[in-house]
Amino acid sequence: MRGGPHSRVLVATLVVVSACTAGTTSPDPEPSTTTASPTSTTTTTEVPLPDAPAGLILHNGQILTVDQDFTIARAVAITDGDIVAVGTSEELMALAGPDTLVIDVDGRTVMPGFVDPHTHHLQNAAPDLDGMRDGIAFMLDGGTTTSGAPTVFPDELEAYRTLDAAGDL
């Protein structure tokens, strides 16, 4: 996903999911990214940072990166719909430029969007394009950023292609 209408998918999902954990306490500040495992916690100090300012920075949170080490960062920087860096709030705030949207998530948990690999949600609306757009908005509001249809009939396929060409899929 790069820029345009697809950027809102990532941003909407991160903000919606972070709002779902309202009322949690703010994390203690840490000097670097934390990696948790079932038996220990380790800290890394080097975070590769991009050269250009980020488009969006979410900071002061519990950023679940869902990598193989179960890394929990405190901030995430996003540009054109792509995650460009994770790390401490201090490290990533250095990526803020004059046009960067900075959101303090106040200790909330932020995680990648959910994937539903088998859904009939959009198929029930197809080929009604407005109904399909409403279904997409409903899934995004719930934090689902990716879904799959088990079968697609010709009129549904044309509807999917139309939505894709319009940047709505």
Q: What is residue 52's three-state secondary structure?
A: coil
What is the model's pLDDT at position 102? 96
Q: Report the C-alpha gap between 80 and 68 in whole angstroms.
A: 25
Q: Report the C-alpha gap between 169 and 167 in whole angstroms.
A: 6
Beta strand 109-110 with 62-64: parallel, antiparallel or unpaired? parallel
What is the model's pLDDT at position 122? 82
Q: What is the pLDDT of residues 145-166, one digit of tens each?
A: 888 877 888 888 899 899 999 9
Q: What is the pLDDT of residues 5-24, one digit of tens each?
A: 433 444 444 444 444 433 33
Q: What is the pLDDT of residues 63-115, one digit of tens each?
A: 998 888 888 999 999 998 888 899 999 999 999 999 999 999 999 999 887 78
167 vs 50, 88, 160, CA distance in Å? Answer: 27, 34, 11
Q: What is the pLDDT of residues 104-130, one digit of tens each?
A: 999 999 988 778 888 777 877 888 999
Q: Confidence band (pLDDT; 50, 70, 90) for 49? A: low
**Mean of the per-residue pLDDT values for the chain?**
74
